[in-house]
Amino acid sequence: MLDKFLETLYNKVFVNIVVEGSKTNVYMELCTGNSKLEMIHNTHEVFETNTLSTQMLEYIESYTRETPYFYISILDNSLAQGVIPTCDKGRLSYYHDVSASEYKCSANNWTYFTSKTDLYSIEKKYHKIGVDFIFSPFTVLSHFFKDKITSDLAMYILIETSTISIAIFSNGELLYGDHLNTHHIIEEDGLTSGDLDEDIDLNLDEGIDLEDIDVDGDEMELIDDFGDIEDLDTLEDIDEFAGHKDIEEELYEAAEEPKSISTESSFNEDYQRFTLIQSCIAAYYKDEKYESSFIENVYVADGVGVSSELKRYLEEEMFLNVYVRQANISMEVCELAKMEFDV
């Protein structure tokens, strides 16, 4: 009872950290309220480092020292993560060996997993501020498109600086998903516009609750208990897919019009993303483990500001209907953290 009273005397601070390649995006919100949160202030900074620098620490602590109620959320950037289209523990290994992974059921029908070692590394990296939640990009993706995934079959894509998270949903059920690293592939391949004439023949198969992570000895002393991350199974009513464009797509195209021709760098990156998406779709169709159906609609959560070329590639080369929404990923992570407190 006393704790509840004390909560009313202090603001809550939500600190949200998203690593974007060699940079770190820190977004914070100050909120009032107990059972229902209300934002009173937000702040945002980008740091030219992917570690917890002194400057970043000072920035975060300038807000967290004002209240005992602050919550640190991290977007999982592990490369050894993914999703499985079942919550049946007996069938998880049919799709993926999860013996070295931490995993959690979502919406009572699909599971997201990530490397225990990578979770420990994140916890160790931010031990000076502590970590309360580590959110999966697939959780971000499913929440961002909560108005869509309970409808007809479609592919959903979250684009970050160095990765792409892909999930295929039909009537709220996950059919397939993959998490792909684009950063090192772009650097190694060094694609140029001349590569566009070549055939594409790639074959890439490719906020977790952190309680009870299985690590040894001294490592356990560094790991705190983490709060549960609620399943995101409360979805809003939605409209059916329509042949016309989404409002988000129209706004996206309007913003693209004044731009000049894409730079060589963004051109190469978007083409590389296209090849990986194409390969992912091919893997979905070919892998007998998954229940495959023909994909017509693709929804993209654009967290980096891709050019219109990616949309054009998917529409012209694969005959897909593509809808793009701009996504502020750090704000989406914050929304997930606040869901833990709204009742």
In one letter, which amino acid is 241? F
Per-residue pLDDT reduced to its tens digit, 62-101: 999 999 999 999 999 999 999 999 999 999 999 999 999 9
Domain assignment present for 4: no
Q: Residue 94's domain spans which residues?
A: 82-339
Domain assignment present for 230: yes
Can you tell me which residue has the tokens 């993303």?
273
For every residue of 5-51, which 3-state class applies, written as one string? HHHHHCCEEEEEEEEECCEEEEEEEEEECCCCCEEEEEEEEEECCCC
Q: How many domains does the chain have?
A: 1
Domain assignment present for 188: yes
What is the overall mean pLDDT for the chain?
82
189 pLDDT higher than 90: no
Q: What's the confidence (pLDDT) of residue 199? A: 41
pLDDT-based confidence at residue 264 (cuts at 50, 70, 90): low
List the CATH number of the domain containing 302: 3.30.420.40
258 pLDDT higher than 80: no
Pairing state of beta strands 38-47 and 23-32?
Answer: antiparallel
Q: What's the confidence (pLDDT) of residue 186? A: 47
Per-residue pLDDT reduced to its tens digit, 154-163: 999 999 999 9
In angstroms, the Cα distances linking 73 to 43, 70, 188, 307 are 15, 10, 32, 29
38 pLDDT higher than 50: yes
Percent of the chain residues topping a pLDDT of 90: 67
Domain assignment present for 29: no
Q: Which two tokens stand for residue 114?
A: 């990530």
Residue 290: CA count within 13 A, CB half-sphere: 28
Per-residue pLDDT reduced to its tens digit, 269-298: 999 999 999 999 999 999 999 989 999 999
In angstroms, the Cα distances linking 253 to 79, 121, 306, 322 are 31, 40, 12, 12
How buried is residue 26: exposed, middle or buried, by Cβ count under 10 Å (0-12/13-18/19+)? middle
Q: Please state the rounded mean pLDDT for residues 161-170.
A: 96
* Cβ-based neighbours of 121, under 8 Å, separated by 6 or more: none
